[in-house]
Structure 1
């Protein structure tokens, strides 16, 4: 078992999972002789919790004896396994308050999603699983405060984009060391890509195109000890982005046509659900899955988790290329275009209208603010972000302003830290700010990065509502109270070697009723 203290001290007790996550390459894994079909070392993927509410949480684990088994099933035999779970007030489990069992089946890759209810609001708990005579590592979790509570601060950390091949998952360890109340992951938990020519770490399998390959990619990630630490220290809320399925996918289409996209999306959705601490309400139905939802932290904050991939219109201005920065076109300005889809827009409208929280946090994937990425008199927008869906952004910005919500947009995707102010009208230099956007960098994607780039100063000058940039890897740490949101952008000097120490590259304060970004 892993106590909270030993977990943070170095992950003692992860055993074989640590070895798989740090030193076992693809070639040696493929030469490994198959073991007899007996159940042993079944908790190599660790534990996780998520989706906290005032009465409970979801507890997750997935049984696996060989996380890089090519069939993606973790080396498990074709048999159902009873998995017991316990929730306690203390990490030594002398005060057990809830217990039960779930059946882990091969059809769901022996994953477990135990929805625990009847817990105290705003409380810390510890949990563990038992199966095949073994006891899992111990996880820490928290329930949300009771409805109406404003006095309980929220320590929220968030990050995105973890490409296994590009570096070590040190950002996860450093987040765990902060002991947050909640971790939000904003997409690209895995990358579907095949092997790189010069990877930092070898990944198992080739490009993800079917259920077995998506499962395999998830299991290798879950076997990483740094990721296990972050999952075990706090509940998570998650949302996907493009690489959880396929690069730059939009709605029912993607750049890739082989294999057919919708069966591929169905496989990706299934593997995603199997490997995340999600409720059964988020279980996919083939290539469809309603993942947008709201997590409430008392009356302090509503976290609206948005899906900007599944329901969006096709990207505009592609010119046969990609959704990245390209030539401008009038299509992106069409009033009927949406990045959320009609149903999700209506749902978000209703949630913002009825919200009585101090803060409304829009937790989503792609750059929200207008951003001209081209220096000089020419302009260039990333049509994969909200700049490709201008009227959709205008509608949401108007709702935030009209309903007088204290809104903060949390964003991933772009592999660098950014922060700025959302304007009601970007064409009016005097237009007021109606929200703040905080963009997290990646866990590993694009390698070590740099603190500043040669053209950064010019980009910031040409986009005066954007106030901050840092190009290293890392995460964002916030403390949200009824009086302020304090923000630290945490950066790592490198990810090509493990255990780098983080530093704060920027600190800001946001106050209710004042949607501007102020240096701390």
Structure 2
């Protein structure tokens, strides 16, 4: 089909950033950023002939939907595994055109325009589309010269004052490429969803312990990454997977990060488990800046998420009418270092210290203000590491991992106590990181056996990380014996599907029998629910 002649200049959201936001963006200046978002348009830039190569090997995506708009994304990369991280693109700007239509055949184009993909931002573009109708499906595509992208499908959210009947979404996390095939995304792409939430560990920075797929040949993929070309290359590897591209093209995504987008177990300005050179604070901040820039370049994120050096605004709130407020947290960037040298501990008094924070004071107050002012029936927290207590000692002692909220007990009690005291109607936390499925109750104070249940948490397993998995592993046997608030545990791979209406939240744990070879079927291992005004999980 020929490119529509009805495309017109985009009516994009004209968010006007200050100059300081562009300082330290890996050499990408204000002009490069604004050209890639469509805020500014450079008429003199032309398309670059690519000799017949497909510039859209990494696919298309949309993200952070709102009632009247969404952000679109693509990154030009005819050679996604080019060792220098360039994607095989020439070092000059390239004009990219886009269209948004009300139908899949693009007979009714409603928005269109052009943006510029610059080498400073990895030849990625992030046009923000405004002026759309609420709660509507739209289709979009890009063009560079004579090359057309795959068609993407997206959906706007209902008007903020409305009261939608239902929302269906999925959430996923933890997808080590070397640990297995992305079959879960084949199945997710065929679901009937309004949106997808990714809770972190989209890529992994470390040297693989074992290549279960047996496919890594490029030397550049066998080393831990510390710089921008390395992180770009990792995204190129992950996004070269057809199932992941299909899931991105099918639904709008809301994304955040955990630790492996930067470094295992990092905390604020503190490096994680990697030794020198990353342990040096200055070197770690450079590494974090590179990782943040690569994440922005490779995800459907708005200009508001544009990193400024080693800082990036990832906590944000998205409303689905008055039915759901989805509050995305950032439990990495502002936290104190893990207590007692991290790891696991049965004796770590530091984890109870009143001043210790996993959110940082400003984000915590922003979160609690949302509790106090939101009109939504369901308050949902998009959270990276488990909030509920995960005791691993079936005896009288309490042995916990110190990287999750168990290392920050006072703040957990403050957040859950505030949800109770402020009258939050239904608090549900969705979480990644653990590579296992959990359904458990959230307690106001886990040290008090009589403490009331104030919310519910669903922890989703990994897409591939740690290989095939099993029904209940050794850790699961310990946790089931030690945590009476834990109602369900499973260690298979997959994702989580959620349906929520005005009276009930329903969680389906969708699992695969294997991921170390392609073609696995999917099934619903269990369904757990939350009833309106009744905190805690119940078997469905």
**Fold shared, TM-score > 0.5 on shorter chain:** yes
What SS does the aligned partner of 1:242 have? coil
Alignment match, 1:31: none
Q: Does 1:349 align with 2:368?
A: yes
Alignment match, 2:384: 365
Decide whether the 8 Å contact of 1:324 with 1:384 is kept in 2: yes
Q: Distance in 2 between matches of 1:298 and 1:46?
A: 30
What SS does the aligned partner of 2:61 have? strand
Alignment match, 2:233: 216
Q: Deviations over 1:70-120 (max 9, x none)?
A: 111100001211111111111111111111111000100000101000000
**TM-aligned CA deviation for residue 194 of structure 1:** 1.8
Match of 1:161 among 174, 177, 182: 174
Q: Does 1:243 align with 2:260?
A: yes
Structure 2 unpaired stretches of 5+: 2-48
Match of 1:137 among 135, 142, 150: 150
What SS does the aligned partner of 1:129 have? strand
Q: Does 1:518 align with 2:527?
A: no
1:381-400 correspondence to structure 2 within 5 Å: 381-400=400-419
Alignment match, 1:307: 330
Q: Distance in 2 between matches of 1:352 and 1:419?
A: 23
Q: Deviations over 1:166-211 (max 9, x none)?
A: 0000111111111311100000000001244443243452211100
What SS does the aligned partner of 1:52 have? strand
Alignment match, 1:489: 509
Q: Distance in 1 between matches of 2:247 and 2:302?
A: 19
What SS does the aligned partner of 2:65 have? coil
Alignment match, 2:68: 55
Q: Distance in 2 between matches of 1:355 and 1:54?
A: 17
Match of 2:349 among 311, 326, 330: 330
1:189-338 correspondence to structure 2 within 5 Å: 189-203=202-216, 204=218, 205=221, 206-255=223-272, 256=274, 257-259=276-278, 260-318=283-341, 323-338=342-357
Q: Distance in 2 between matches of 1:114 and 1:97?
A: 15
1:90-101 correspondence to structure 2 within 5 Å: 90-101=103-114
Match of 2:160 among 147, 153, 158: 147
**TM-aligned CA deviation for residue 427 of structure 1:** 2.2
**TM-aligned CA deviation for residue 349 of structure 1:** 1.1
Match of 1:440 among 452, 455, 460: 460
Alignment match, 1:32: none
**TM-aligned CA deviation for residue 39 of structure 1:** 6.2
**TM-aligned CA deviation for residue 215 of structure 1:** 0.2
Q: Distance in 2 between matches of 1:151 and 1:277?
A: 25
Distance 1:497 1:197, change over 3 A: closer
Decide whether the 8 Å contact of 2:212 with 2:516 is kept in 1: no
**TM-aligned CA deviation for residue 454 of structure 1:** 4.9
Alignment match, 2:193: 180
Q: Does 1:427 align with 2:447?
A: yes
1:456-475 correspondence to structure 2 within 5 Å: 456-475=476-495
Decide whether the 8 Å contact of 1:113 with 1:278 is kept in 2: yes
Distance 1:382 1:196, change over 3 A: closer
Alignment match, 1:67: 80
Match of 2:118 among 90, 101, 105: 105
**TM-aligned CA deviation for residue 327 of structure 1:** 3.7
1:123-134 correspondence to structure 2 within 5 Å: 123-134=136-147
Alignment match, 2:133: 120
Decide whether the 8 Å contact of 2:158 with 2:164 is kept in 1: no
The TM-score, its normalising length taken from structure 2, stands at 0.87
Q: For the aligned residues, what is the CA RMSD?
A: 1.4
Q: Deviations over 1:132-166 (max 9, x none)?
A: 21110011100010012222411110010010000
Distance 1:411 1:453, change over 3 A: same
**TM-aligned CA deviation for residue 519 of structure 1:** 1.1
- For this pair of structures, how many residues does the alignment match? 482
Distance 1:229 1:37, change over 3 A: closer
Decide whether the 8 Å contact of 2:379 with 2:428 is kept in 1: yes
Q: Deviations over 1:421-460 (max 9, x none)?
A: 0011222222211100000000100100001125634532
Q: Distance in 2 between matches of 1:287 and 1:457?
A: 40
**TM-aligned CA deviation for residue 326 of structure 1:** 2.6
Distance 1:258 1:202, change over 3 A: farther
What SS does the aligned partner of 1:215 have? helix
Q: Distance in 2 between matches of 1:277 and 1:514?
A: 35
What SS does the aligned partner of 1:184 have? strand
Q: Does 1:380 align with 2:403?
A: no
Structure 1 unpaired stretches of 5+: 2-35
Decide whether the 8 Å contact of 1:166 with 1:201 is kept in 2: no
Q: Deviations over 1:255-299 (max 9, x none)?
A: 333142110000000000000000011000000111100011111
Decide whether the 8 Å contact of 1:145 with 1:152 is kept in 2: no
Q: Distance in 1 between matches of 2:55 and 2:392?
A: 48
